[in-house]
Structure 1
Amino acid sequence: MGGVGHALRSNKHINTMNPASYTSVDSLSFMFDIGFSLKSSNYEENNIKSNARNSSFDYLAMQFRLHPRIGMVIGFTPFSTVGYNFSSSGNVPNSNNVSVTNTYYGDGGTNTVFAGLGFKVLKNLSIGANIGYLYGNQEYSTTATLSNGGDYTINYRNLNVKSYKLDIGLQYTQPLNKNQNITLGLTYGLGHQLNTTEVIGTQVTDGSSYSSTNEKTYYDGYGIPSTYGIGLSYQYKNNLTVCVDYTRQEWSKVKLSDVSGMYNDRNKIAAGFEYIPNTLGRNFLERISYRAGVYYTSPYIKIPNDISGTSYSDGAKEIGVSAGFGFPLTLFQRKTVLSITGQYINLSPSNKNLMSENRFVLKIGLTLNEPWFMKWRVN
């Protein structure tokens, strides 16, 4: 649905974007949600094209009710990922007979384990909070290899993150009549400096022995931005849901190794809908969820145009469209939903000499809705 979620309330899926939505869980249900993605990316830079295919684990969460007014979620999700390996070659200055090949490598990522509570303050008003542990390792290196077989140089950077993440949310639902209602959703993610350890150094090697020089360790040099979100949703019975979201991330206030001014504030606008012809219909096609969405995200990173760093270009703006289906796999009292979504994403930088990307994504999600807390009248 284009990534909307600030104002989305559903007892069929887990919405971790706004923890206030946890109060919508059915009192008899235990929900378990898991998702994966298959990706195919086409890159282009200076008329050079390349393709990469990979897969990723997206999320894992479970939701249940602790009290008639309190819902809880426990989950795991990747926060960021790094993965690249490419090289470029050129002649060594003042030497026409020797060339150097630079190989750029990056691997790793950061993950979040979190727990959240949603509390129903009034009949139509809920608040909630997620508290998470942010952790992970990222490795970066640039290896310079000479064509004459001499020693080669490795510049490396290893980053370790161990910190926290806090998000809070609010949702208010206003009934229009017995069949229609609208929901206003507000979210806030706390921005702060992360607890990080960064090791930067250089190695010179002949392939068998290594010598390290200029290795330095830095602490707490990275941060995450404050994030504000507002959303509005319209729901007609259990058949139609329409959502619109706006999200702002204050990247301009984030420092990188005590250097500010390297980012722009990031803005995202998203809209999406879900339509179910007949939730109780006997025809299987009538019970399928039909979903679609679109979003636009402004660039947040600044990229130097030259080595001096006196001028910058904005990074890539991002546009995405998605469409998919939720297939009900009902068996006895179990309400399982298999979600399949196709997504197209375009990333285009303001500087045409920088790399652009067209990405095709197939997302697969499985939601298990089990009646664990039902008490039978007859055993």
Structure 2
Amino acid sequence: MSIFIFKVYGQDNIGTPYSVYGIGLQTENAGPYNAMGGVAAAMRDNGNINYLNPASYTALDTARLYFQFGVTGEYAHLSTYKENASYRVAQNTAFNIAFRLHKNMYMSLGFTEKSDIGYDLSYTNVIPGSSDSYFQQNIQGEGGLNDVYLGLGWRYKNLSIGLNTSLIFGKIEKRQTLTTMIEGSKIIKTSENNRIHDVLFTPGIQYTLNLSPKSILTLGSAFNFTQKLRSKTDYMAYSVNSSTNTTEMLNDLTLKRGYIKYPFRILSGFDFRYNRKWDIAGDYTFQKMSVYEEFGKNQELKDYHKAALGLSWTPERLGRYWWQRNSYMLGGYFIHSGIDVKNVDINTYAITFGSQIPFYTARNGILLLGVAFDLGIRGTEQNGLIQEKFAKVRINVGFNEFWFMKRKIN
């Protein structure tokens, strides 16, 4: 997909310019596993809620109530072959609750951001057929999709299955201004607002193999089928005479109903744990974005691919000192976004690192403080495009406490 070569651009502090495509930048908060490259498919433990695979809920403690909150802050430096800019943004908020519902049955519910859109771009170019006349175009967008979900997980021996039922909702706003640098010419402005709301189902599965008394291998997968999400759009176009400041309506289309086609997506991976100290995991994500449509029109994207790998080391889970109980994590990921600008693929490369520190409360509660960092590159300066060098700080706080244990009184 190709839109333009940047000649002059400016980016306000709202997000990546590459969120102009599709539903925006897909933001997944993998909780404490963010520091391991964001692996999630096979991750399961009794301290953290992994909502990206609902089968993982069955690893939680039977008598504890779990709360989890996460947020991400990002700083990015943008550059072309001759210009620079930067932005700072907070994103990817998630809040989750989980508990055992019945024997071998667990429930989780929560809220998370599914995608994020934020861009403010301008460029200047020569009017076709002219050598000394120019036009300036400014495009702006904001919004994104949110996910409120209710999930169930069920375990039978080494097999766990789960299902998240999500209400996907959000608003995507797009604005465009086209100005020719000729005295007395008209300024063309357009505005488009899309409101999306529908239900999305995410089944998940995990299977655990006890390879030896000290080693455990878990295989996992979660996916969505291709689904049409209902959408409503308002579109307006008008012109403004730069000399008289008079306005003329060109198009006013209100409340058009349709859908966006959310493509098939699958997340698969493994997690190998040894001696309750070492943990290595890997994920692969595929989404068929080449069939993504908005109101029946294919958006000419390529398929999405993501590979992630992570490592964790915990010296002594029951150690006396906090640094012994701390989990030290390292990872990385590669994303082929499916965005093609001027026949150049927009890819992302990043390394991650961080830790999760457990604190114990007076009532046998556990507070888990996770801090993760991403250092990466998105895009390229090739063909006059934008390259982003970004740094992310991800904070994840989890708390769980015995709420469902019967007390005995002598």
TM-score relative to the length of structure 2: 0.83
Matches within 5 A, 1:70-219: 70-89=105-124, 100-120=135-155, 122-145=156-179, 148=183, 152-205=187-240, 210-216=247-253, 218-219=256-257
* Alignment-mate amino acid for residue 368 of structure 1: F
Write out per-residue CA displacement over residues 128-147 of structure 1, whole angstroms, 9 at most, x where no aligned residue.
Answer: 01110111111111123466
Find 2:401's aligned residue among 355, 359, 370.
370
Write the deviation string for residues 57-77 of structure 1: whole angstroms up to 9, x where unpaired. Answer: 421111111012011110111
Maintained 8 Å contact 2:96/2:110: yes
1:298 matches 2:349? no
Asked if the contact 1:315–1:350 (Cα under 8 Å) also holds between the matched residues in 2, the reply is no
User: Does the CA contact (< 8 Å) of 2:91 and 2:116 recur in 1?
Assistant: no
Which consecutive unaligned segments of at least 5 residues does structure 1 have?
A: 306-312
How far, CA to CA, are the matches of 2:130 and 2:280 in structure 1? Answer: 64
The reply to whether residue 330 of structure 1 matches residue 360 of structure 2 is yes
**Is it true that 1:272 corresponds to 2:315 in the alignment?**
no
Supply the distance in 2 between the matched residues of 1:250 and 1:100 (Cα, whole angstroms).
36
- Given candidates 251, 254, 257, the residue that maps to 2:289 is 251
Q: Could you say which residue in structure 1 is the equivalent of 2:10? A: none
The one-letter code of the counterpart of 1:279 is R
Rounded to whole Å, the distance in 1 between the matches of 2:200 and 2:169 is 10
Determine if contact 1:30/1:62 at 8 Å carries over to the other structure: yes
Distance 2:407 2:246 in 1: 71
Q: Tell me which moved more, 104-113 or 198-207.
A: 198-207
On the 8 A contact 2:306/2:333 being kept in 1, the answer is: yes
In 2: Cα distance, 1:281 partner to 1:259 partner: 58
Instruction: Rate the CA distance shift 1:349–1:299 in 2: closer, same or farther, 3 A.
Output: farther
Identity over aligned pairs, percent: 27
Residue deviations 1:40-95, cap 9 Å, x none? Answer: 11112232211111112421111111012011110111111111123234576799
Q: How many residues align?
A: 370
Matched, 1:54 2:89: yes
TM-superposed deviation, 1:24:
0.7
For 1:276 and 1:149, locate their aligned partners in 2 and report how far apart those are by CA, in whole Å: 69
**Per-residue deviation, residues 153-172 of structure 1 (Å, max 9, x unmatched):** 21222111011211111111
Q: What CA distance in whole angstroms lies between the structure 2 residues aligned with 1:90 and 1:255?
A: 29
Structure 1 stretch displaced more, 212-221 or 242-251: 212-221
Please say which of residues 293-302 and 249-258 is displaced more in the overlay: 249-258
Is it true that 1:354 corresponds to 2:385 in the alignment?
yes
Query: Aligned-pair distance for 1:223?
Result: 1.5
* Equivalent AA in structure 1 for residue 281 of structure 2: C
Could you give the per-residue CA deviations for residues 13-34 of structure 1, whole angstroms, max 9, x where no partner exists?
1101111001111011111111
Between stretches 206-215 and 175-184, larger displacement belongs to: 206-215
1:83–1:108 CA contact under 8 A, matched in 2: yes
How far the C-alpha of 1:39 sits from its partner, in A, is 0.7
Q: Counterparts of 1:233 and 1:156 in 2: how far apart (Å)? A: 47
Three-state SS of the structure 2 residue aligned to 1:377 is: coil
**Structure 2: stretches of 5+ with no match in the other structure:** 1-35
Instruction: Assess if the C-alpha contact under 8 Å between 1:193 and 1:220 holds in 2.
Output: no
The whole-number CA distance in structure 1 between the counterparts of 2:246 and 2:366 is: 60
Q: Is the counterpart of residue 68 in structure 1 residue 98 in structure 2?
A: no
Q: How far apart are 1:221 and its partner, in Å?
A: 4.5
Q: 1:81-134: per-residue Cα shift (whole Å, max 9, x none)? A: 1111232345767999986543221111111111100011x2110100111011
Q: Which amino acid in structure 2 is aligned with residue 348 of structure 1? A: G
Distance 2:251 2:40 in 1: 47
Separation in 1, partners of 2:237, 2:128: 21
CA 1:96–1:228: 2 relative to 1, 3 Å: closer
8 Å contact from structure 2 (residues 261, 291) kept in 1: no
Alpha-carbon distance in 2 for matches of 1:63, 1:35 = 15
Task: State the Cα deviation string for residues 152-204 of structure 1 (Å, max 9, x = none).
Answer: 32122211101121111111111122222111112221221221122333122
Q: 1:292 and 1:349 mapped to 2: Cα distance? A: 25
Query: For the Cα contact (< 8 Å) 2:79–2:381, is it kept in 1?
Result: no
Alignment match, 2:9: none
CA change 1:288–1:40 in 2 (3 A) is: same
Residue type of the partner of 1:232?
F
Verify the 8 A CA contact 2:42 2:268 in the aligned structure 1. yes
CA contact 1:110–1:135 (8 Å) conserved in 2 = yes
- Secondary structure of the residue aligned to 2:139 is strand
Deviation at 1:350, TM superposition (A): 9.1
Task: Tell me the equivalent position of 1:310.
Answer: none
Q: Does structure 2 retain, via aligned residues, the 8 Å contact 1:300–1:314?
A: no
